[in-house]
Chain A
C-alpha cells in the first residue's frame, strides 16, 4: 500500500531564507505526487504536482519540487521564504485504485522575521 512520510513536524526559517520540506513515499509503480498548502482553518491549495517527465516541477507562489526515484523523495523547495508562507504543507501520493489521495502527516512552517 502507498504511504507518505514527512519527517519534519515543524520547521522554522527566517524570512528571506531558503526552504526545503522533505517528503518520502512508498509506492510500487510510478507515483503521482502532489504538494498542498493549508493555512489555519482553511482548505487545501494545490502547489504543484508530478505525474511524469521533467523531474523538477514548478508550482505556484515560487515553489518547486524535485522527484528523485532513487531516493523515493519529492522534496519541496523555495529559494526565499516570505512571512505569508507560514502554513501547513502536505505531501500526497495518488493511490492505485479509484481517486484516493494518501497524505503525509504534514509539516508546519513557521517564518520568523
Chain B
C-alpha cells in the first residue's frame, strides 16, 4: 500500500484566519514533504522532514509553519496568508531519508487552498 492521505480536500480561508493542513501515511516512511503547486506549474518543494526533524526549508515565508508530531503525521499551519498563496498543496513521503535522490516519493491527493 502506497497511500498518503491529506485533509481537507478543499479549504477556503480569509487572510486573517488560522488553519492547518494534515497529511498522514502508514507505510513506515521516515521522510515527509510539503510541495506547493500553482495552476499549470510543476510542484515546488517547500519543506522536508527526515526522521521527524526539519531538514530542508526552501526559503518559505514564515506564514507557513510545518510540524511533524510523529513519523506518520505531517501538518502545515497557515496564518495570515495572501491570495497569491492559493494553490494545491501536496504532501509526499518516502522510505529512507538517507537514500537521497534514489528514495522514491509517493504523493497524496492534495489540498486545494483558496485564500480570499
Q: Which of these, B42, B90, B100, contacts A106 with CB under 8 Å?
A: B42
> Once the chains bind, are B42 and A94 in contact (CB under 8 Å)?
no
* Residue among A93, A95, A104 with max Cβ neighbours from chain B (10 Å): A95
Q: Using a CB-CB cutoff of 8 Å, which residues 20-75 of chain B contact chain A? A: 31, 33, 40-43, 45, 48, 50, 55-56
Number of A-B residue pairs, CB cutoff 8 Å, is: 72
Is the Cβ of B90 less than 8 Å from the Cβ of A43?
Answer: yes
Task: Name the interface residues of B57-116: CB closer than 8 Å to any CB of A.
Answer: 88, 90, 92, 94, 97, 99-110, 112
Q: Considering the complex, which residues of chain A in the window 1-53 have a beta carbon less than 8 Å from any beta carbon of chain B?
A: 32, 34, 36, 41-46, 49, 51
**B108 contacts which chain A residues (CB < 8 A)?**
43
How many chain A residues touch the partner (CB < 8 A)?
25
Which residue on B lies nearest to A34, using beta carbons? B104
Contacts of A87 in B (CB 8 A): none
Determine the chain A residues whose CB is within 8 A of the CB of B104 once the complex forms: 34, 46, 49
- 21 A-B pairs, CB-CB below 8 angstroms? A34-B104, A36-B107, A42-B109, A42-B110, A43-B108, A43-B109, A44-B107, A46-B106, A49-B104, A90-B42, A94-B101, A98-B50, A98-B56, A98-B100, A99-B56, A100-B45, A100-B101, A101-B45, A103-B42, A104-B42, A106-B41
Give B residues with C-beta under 8 Å from A: 2, 4, 6, 31, 33, 40-43, 45, 48, 50, 55-56, 88, 90, 92, 94, 97, 99-110, 112
